[in-house]
Chains A and B, each alone.
Chain A
């Protein structure tokens, strides 16, 4: 049986820029897990093949020790209690950091697309034209809705409140705006800190 190396021995350098928040135990709160999963879901909705790209990027960023393969990645993501088939698994800080680094990297790659989608949405909102009128925007929203409904547990009160398409579209646009902030100079640290707002001692 493979001996597990202790976290302190194998923290990739890239993760060291993210400080450990003062939590009561060193495990991620529910809100953190949910937020990370939703942001990743938004990324998958922006770009086809983003899920595959995530595993390749994990290798490039040398965080593949933490996100080994597809199965491990899925296990980590189903630690979100709102998912169907939620596995009651905890998300460790190291795993969360790895995901945040990945989000930051992916969002930077998608900066132009994210900005364009938000600008289009802005212009359509001013003219009170529905988002479906723009092909790319409607594609994003449709994919987001499909992923969300396929993966999230509808029995959960919070998920059930998103039965309405309009409400789900609003969530999709909010996540897109948050992704924009992740593309910035301090995007990664800002995202990391925001995940623990109101959760720390």
Chain B
């Protein structure tokens, strides 16, 4: 494929669309690659893939700075990539290599990167919610205009700590976005069985937190809602909740027999592919989107090769960093 020059006078909207698409295709291909590598045994840890949910990560993180802080979920590769996580150390963590983000010791569900403002993905449903609250407290205390954001699924909406945190964020006007990825399933249980409320956004109203429910597969809608919420937080107006309706194409975990939904339902949702949706909004950029797909594929393959070459952690790594300050250290 030959390199097409960018159209003259590429509008800011078009540039933005390309950047958003770039993020989404990287997430998509990273997940597909991880899926393939796990199937062939090269990744041995459990994976919770976010294929189909790319628009939420891309749209929410697009307006964020490096100094803004996020916590993520067990299904967090997309959030981490969108926030600035680098491909090789992420892949390296999945390969359990010493050069992975967490020294290979934590795996897919705990990726963390201070340089990108990623406090950490989290294996405990709802575990990252009050941690993000604390980040927002620090931001407020330090009189910064940064923001904190926490991603969580609608499964976490049943955890008490979400409600504690909405209450506190509202009381103290903390600069935090609560981003709910409502993908219809808490592990293997559909929403209709585990939530009495119609919308997760309804919970926010009780705590006087502004909230909105949007199409989480429309990255431009996600972006608009995120920008509004982030601007509000930066201006000292407190928290917001974004409920993003989306769908995960793969099972809860890789290997999930998915007895709880039909193939027809999955296929119906794949037609609402967030990447295709963005493409259809900018048909004139089709060639550019293709180039971004290709480049992402190349970059991910390079990351796989690089991470594959890294060493495993040494046996002594088991006892490293149990404490930040071991006894006797200053």
Partners in one complex: no
